[in-house]
Chains A and B, each alone.
Chain A
Amino acid sequence: MTVWKTSMRNFLAHKGRMALSAVAVLLSVAFVCGTLCFTDTMNTTFDKLFAASSADVTVSPKAAGGPDDAPENGRPESLSASVVERVEKADGVKEAEGGVMSMSVTVVDSHDKNMGSETGAPTIAGNWTRNDLRSMEIASGHAPRGPTEVMVDADTAEKHHLKIGDELRTVAVTGDIRARISGIAAFTVTNPGAAVVFLDTATAQQKLLGRPGAFTHVNVTAQPGVDDTQLKKNVASALGDAGAYKLQTQKEAAAANKDSMGSFLDVMKYAMLGFAGIAFLVGIFLIVNTFSMLVAQRTREIGLMRAIGSSRKQVNRSVLVEAVLLGIVGSVLGVGAGIGLAVGLMKLMGSMGMELSTEDLTVAWTTPVLGLALGVVVTVLAAYIPARRAGKVSPMAALRDAGTPADGKSGRIRAGIGLVLTVSGAAALWATTQADKAGEGSLFLGLGVVLTLIGFIVIGPLLAGVVVRALGVVVLRFFGPVGRLAERNALRNPRRTGATAAALMIGLALVACLSVVGSSMVASATEELDKSVGTDFIVQSGTGQLVVPQAAEAIKKVPGIEYVTDYKSVGAKITSPDGKTEDEGLVAADPTYQEDLRRTTVAGDLGDAYGKNAMSVGDDYALRHGIEVGDEITVAFKAGGTAKLKVAAITSDETNVDKGAMYTNITTAEQYVPADRMPENMIMFAKAEDGKEKAAYAALKSALAPYPQYKVQNQADFKQDLKDQVGQLLNIVYGLLALAIIVAVLGVVNTLALSVVERTREIGLMRAIGLSRRQLRRMIRLESVVIALFGALLGLGLGMGWGTSAQKLLALEGLGVLEIPWPTILTVFVASAFVGLFAALVPAFRAGRMNVLNAIATDG
């Protein structure tokens, strides 16, 4: 009980000194809880949406893919109207209603502006059915009553200031549908961002499906008392032919929709939890430092407790109890902050166009429990080593005039272990660069990263001596005696300096590693594009929408264009001569595609692959199945028709573009695939006539102005786009790493603040003999900058090592060019110095405000 009381009092007495540790725990726990809460809320939102939008039983064609599979010809699979009649006659059916829905559409306003979401949510066009009333209501106007009327969802209307009477153009694969807004329908559940338009049924059938009278699905409503599973059975037996239809109860439909969404949410969740984990790791250093310093400052006190009879265990436990208290306080606040963070994230998503309602805010009971458990366990683990050290304090310490205990020289054992770890880590990284199989290479890489990281953490205190002295020579000597004092202070306790810098090192190492990989990715891709791309212009949508024929026509009419290449992705099952079938798909293109994208061939001539009934394969596939030029391959097109095509060329797979693609001529595919099922273009390429590039580029852009879903890019745009995409991705990752870096900066603040408290008498002495406030503050700032630069140096060095090894490994996957982004690395290094200055703000201010007399009088 006394132990508990002492710990409690110590905790309360030193709450100021623990504040930053609590903040570190808080931030990490908040990030975990925020992530869980946010993803749970997203799940709830989608669950509600999908549950509300699915009928009791939905009947759709068997051939229709999941929610993610866009039809390759832009026309969803459909059912004939007679199916609706047959379903209606089944037992227990109250009502059966044919629905039409397509996601292969783009909706633009009268200024050719895309009404679709920018966050990746789909644009959906369909007919207005009674089933829609379960999730929507007509807010104003009325449902469309003819081919010239359209209804739009209220969120989209609001976002784009649409009102009744405005014209909307729905771009479908069969042509453009021009209609005026007749009504606006509002979601009664949260719609996270999809743009939805409703057409009248006949128009929807004709334009979206190209098949008058057909439906994409049948919504079946049960009579009261008939459950969904029973209804499904009844409908199935009424329809007979089980192979032709897919039947889903409401639950199954919602689950199927959810699956495609859920995997995305899971990826997001685990990625964010990973970053929270890094923040926790960094926080551990902060907590270790705090407790080490508290124990050191309390040495005499602990010695006294031991002298009057406390056992080692009791001393040890009293420190751990303080850690538990700290963990609890930090985690409880963290859980609260996490829920706040989730709400903040929802608002942020809202501002980016993904509407989430706080009514759906979901806090599972596991969230606070997990947050609390993580926070407490991590804190106690971190405090374990300092607690053990406290237990080892001898009772003699009470008698000694300990002053500021100096850190024992970091032992030789430590140096040995650290060196062994670092060297074996470096060896693993070297092995990574030598690996010729990606699998074993990534194993080495993982091993190397972990070993070098731990190795650096272990020998950090030793490196501190070397690096800080070097920095002293380069930077600090310009600051005279104040610089020298700062250097000595940073070196006085290498273990503390090492741990503080290591925290910063972790975050910066990841930044450096990713920036190396990212810029190598861009450099490699750019080099390859320079080498292989011959086309002038590339037309494609950013979201995977097919190029509709009317847009393709517009492109082909542009003046100054020498030729245009159609590029289609054709689904097919491919059977090689060894009898094995792969669900691969082919690229069907115009022969000019050879010029647009130059490929190296291993055997044969790629030109011949565009000949009659011929194709090419990649060398990986050829190797796998022992295929040689002249072999015959069976291609069963998904859209119908089976062809036997002769392999005329084998292309090299050492590439990033079209890796493994099999090529055939469009005319070959057309021989087998029915005309109305022939896939639309996925991408189009255009080559300008000599000297007319500029004019053709402008003309292409203006020709495609009515179709804002497509991007027209010349080679420079394309490369820039690639760079931007990698840059964006890196920025997101840097943003998430910012959490770990913030915790590390708190660690620097913490170390300095506690050091200032510890050195009160020293500071008093220096002030008494004439150190000005300004000099004192500068001394503390310089110490901080040195620690930060030390951490940055280790982190950037480590990260560049990791990044280089990763690039060498990825070279097997076509990431052939190593590019170290020196501007980024230098910026991070310089920014670290500023981080150091920033971290020293408060500690320096407080040191400057210390009363000289009190400082002298303070008991050591």
Chain B
Amino acid sequence: MSIQIENLTKKFGTFTAVDQLSLTVNDGELLALLGPSGCGKTTLLRMIAGLENPDQGTIKFQENENQVIENRIGFVFQHYALFRHMTVFENVAFGLKVKPRSIRPSKEEIKTKVFDLLKMVQLDWAVNRLPSELSGGQRQRVALARALAIEPKVLLLDEPFGALDAKVRKELRRWLRHLHDELKITSVFVTHDQEEALEVSDRIVIMNQGKILQQGTPEEVYAHPANPFVFNFLGNVNLFHGRIENGEANQVGFVRPHDISLELTPNGLDRFEAVVDRVFSIGNLTRVELKLTESGRFVDSEITKETFDKLQIKTGDKVFIKLNKIKVFQADQNQPEYSI
């Protein structure tokens, strides 16, 4: 099932949460809505679910050229929203038990189905537990099983891993990707974590201030960011302000930390002198914070441990930096600089 969104607008008082937004979610894809908090991504998701009414615009669900009238939507909340007074079994069975009598499965069928789903999320041992007796990651897996019980045509996830710690988050992310590959349900998930979006999704939609700034595969948006905001949002970045030779207006150069290499002696003209300010290593990566001698600005460089060991530099040393890859954007007054 695909979703066509056209000219969608939603206002809360004077605040425009979603601004004339159009988007197509293709059948069977896993789409990430990525943006900073307050960018309208959750409001968009809630409108797709029918939890909010748009002020303007339409959302259409389509299957094989036909308009779908009845659509089942699975929704996973950031804080799980499990029914706290019901056991894990009752939670997962809820969507089946509340069906109208004519289409409700029998007790036995419900039982089999719930056990299958709980096995799939590896929680079949917890059928009789209450949500309060489970960890965050386990609860979110119950919430997912509950959403899948009604065999949704569309799965919507609102910051599903936002309340979990880093390790569990990573595990669940991978697990969600596998699950999607298996079930192929059209899915939309909202996140503010670029790493999560890049790692899990088929396609990323980057939003800010109620509008879509760019959409594409993770590789596309990472390699070819359409504007400074996207570049900034998709990872760490160093900014170089300056005037380009041909006299155009102010330009800003964007360089990722891993595109800055260090030399002890300048091997060319386009090198900048800098002083090592701080060094720290995580695993095989070493992050070197440098202060540019000329402008006094700070830049970050990421090099491998191996290179770092060869250079033998320490805090206070003078080095020369080389920009291996630079992306230049027109300094745009309308595009506010992104800050966390």
A and B physically associate? no
Q: Chain A interface (Cβ within 8 Å of chain B)?
A: none
